[in-house]
């Protein structure tokens, strides 16, 4: 299973910087940067909800599932 994070794309569409999103969401720049680059293994629903609220988007705008070749 491959979940791809598209936070960078949504932020670019909204013309929002990492610093601005960090302030609105209340999550550190470091943690948001890890989310943005996909270097996380989990995300809290409360954080996802705050990000969606700040970016006026749906979770599906940020998260994408890509089926791997060996999955059935």
- Domains defined for the chain, CATH in brackets: 2-66 (1.10.260.40)
Q: What average pLDDT does this structure show over 21-47? A: 93
The per-residue b/e assignment along 18-36, b for 16 or more CB within 10 angstroms, e otherwise, is beebbeebebeeeebeebb
- Say which residue the tokens 């569409």 belong to: 13
pLDDT digits (tens, 9 = 90+) for 5-30: 999 999 999 999 999 999 999 999 99
pLDDT at 1 over 80: no
Residue 11 in tokens = 């932020």
pLDDT at 38 over 90: no
């Amino acid at each position: 299973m491959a979940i791809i994070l598209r936070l960078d794309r949504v932020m670019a569409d909204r013309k929002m910087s990492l610093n601005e999103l960090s302030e609105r969401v209340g999550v550190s720049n470091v943690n948001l940067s890890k989310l943005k680059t996909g270097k996380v293994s989990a995300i809290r629903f409360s954080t996802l909800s705050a990000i969606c609220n700040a970016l006026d988007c749906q979770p599906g705008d940020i998260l994408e599932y890509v089926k791997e070749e060996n999955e059935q």
